[in-house]
Amino acid sequence: MDLNYTAEDEAFRAEVRAFIDANLPQDLQHKVLHHKRMTKDDITRWHKIVAKQGWMAPGWPVEYGGTGWTSVQRHIWEEECARAGTPITLPFGVMMVAPVIIAFGNEAQKRHYLPRILNFDDWWCQGYSEPGSGSDLASLKTRAERQGDHYIVNGQKTWTTLAQHADMIFCLVRTDPAARKQEGISFLLIDMKTPGITVRPIIMLDEEHEVNEVFFDNVKVSVENLIGEENKGWTYAKYLLGHERTNIAAVGRAKRELQFLKRVALKQLKNGKPLLEDPLFSAKVASLEMEIMALDITVLRVLSAESHKRGPGPEASLLKVKGTEVQQTMTELMMEAVGPYAMPFDVPFLQGEEEHSITGDDDAAPLAGHYFNFRKTSIYGGSNEIQKNIITQMILGL
């Protein structure tokens, strides 16, 4: 694989950079670059801006609204968004359920859902994890009982990210309790306004409302909302998880955060010199930078395979493991760099209600919450321990 960018690639990078520079609202950029909390409106605004440009779904086939970009161009787009500090593209619609609908949905489902996902008319969330069914997802117990032309859904999902904002949820449900656990699961699309759905917040350590419990009490769902065949949902779930794990790597964001880490380490002094010049700390930063370079190359390899019509395979597990390890190491080094300046808990500053932190160090103030939040990355999308088992079996053949 040639890792050098062509003249055409660099021209594309210039086009992307010009678009972002002209269209990214400064208030959103400031929040991202300074680790402030994002609101629903913040995320929606950026989605709408990108959708209007026609660049919301780089990974989709052109006939459904995709861009037709090469794998390298997609990588450049993600790099430039991360470099500039755009809000994240919320993955649940564009990057997770949409590929499943494209691959396994019927034509009516594609006509209805894909344009709405593309234009961000619907906010999606993911109904996978349950109490007692996380990494062992096939043990899920949420039941969908077929009654004529609809299902009756009962059960509970948990750790459901941003469900408080969602219009739709894609759910794994058990439709055949007598079957082998992987063979009795179906994939349903459910309107969050349907009677019988209750969303209960889970408030995290930093007092942010990011995740939820979702309860289903005799929720009536049309059979038309079934993706593919009944009891074949495990196949679709594995396909979706491959896309999720590829996206979790977030290599562009890691590059941006590395520059932030270096900047804060230059401000902090140790023995009268910038911390970044301390041999032990600088060695840690150099090791992290090499890991990011290796991750970058691996992402390009996986994207190249996808461009040749090969979906994400077990390589996605490699990206998930290494990407989350990089993210966690990054937050650990940030905390090490700023030390006690990260300790005060300044919610008004994080929410944008105050211009400056009570500590006097606006860079340091969000980093404790940032550190704790990123402890979850090695768990969601399938825990890293499970991913290592997949790598052992499917790549190493052990």
Can you tell me which residue has the tokens 């650990």? Answer: 332
371 closest CA partner among 337, 327, 340, 341: 327
When pLDDT is cut at 50, 70 and 90, the band that residue 201 belongs to is: very high
- On whether residue 243 sits in a domain, the answer given is no
Question: How confident is the model over 265-289, as a mean pLDDT?
Answer: 95
212 lies in the same domain as 257 = no
Share of the chain above pLDDT 70, in %: 94
Assess contact for 239 and 103: CB atoms under 8 A. Answer: yes
Quick one: how far is CA 242 from the chain centroid?
A: 12
When pLDDT is cut at 50, 70 and 90, the band that residue 316 belongs to is: confident
- On whether residue 165 sits in a domain, the answer given is yes
The pLDDT of residue 163 is: 98
From 181, 205, 231, the end of a domain falls on 231
More confident residue, 86 or 373: 86
258 lies in the same domain as 331 = yes
- On whether residue 297 sits in a domain, the answer given is yes
Question: How confident is the model over 341-347, as a mean pLDDT?
Answer: 82
- On whether residue 371 sits in a domain, the answer given is yes
361 lies in the same domain as 255 = yes
Q: In the predicted model, what is the mean pLDDT of the chain?
A: 90
Range of the domain at 177: 124-231
71 lies in the same domain as 13 = yes
273 lies in the same domain as 144 = no
The pLDDT of residue 385 is: 83
CA atoms within 13 A on the CB side of 83: 12
- On whether residue 46 sits in a domain, the answer given is yes
The CATH number covering residue 307 comes to: 1.20.140.10
The CATH number covering residue 162 comes to: 2.40.110.10
From 203, 231, 259, the end of a domain falls on 231
132 lies in the same domain as 58 = no
168 lies in the same domain as 196 = yes
Assess contact for 327 and 377: CB atoms under 8 A. Answer: yes
The pLDDT of residue 99 is: 94
Give whole-number Cα distances, 305 to 300, 310, 311, 398, in Å: 9, 6, 7, 24
186 lies in the same domain as 282 = no
The pLDDT of residue 212 is: 97
The pLDDT of residue 192 is: 98
When pLDDT is cut at 50, 70 and 90, the band that residue 398 belongs to is: low
pLDDT 10s digits, 34-88 = 999 999 999 999 999 999 999 999 989 999 999 999 888 988 999 999 999 999 9
Number of domains in the chain: 3
Q: Which two tokens stand for residue 332?
A: 């650990």
289 lies in the same domain as 366 = yes
16 lies in the same domain as 45 = yes
83 lies in the same domain as 210 = no
Distance CA 186, CA 182 (A): 10
pLDDT 10s digits, 324-337 = 999 999 999 999 99
More confident residue, 62 or 319: 62
- On whether residue 314 sits in a domain, the answer given is yes
- On whether residue 347 sits in a domain, the answer given is yes
Say whether 6 sits in a helix, a strand or coil.
Answer: coil
- On whether residue 281 sits in a domain, the answer given is yes
Distance CA 280, CA 303 (A): 35
From 89, 115, 147, the end of a domain falls on 89
354 lies in the same domain as 268 = yes
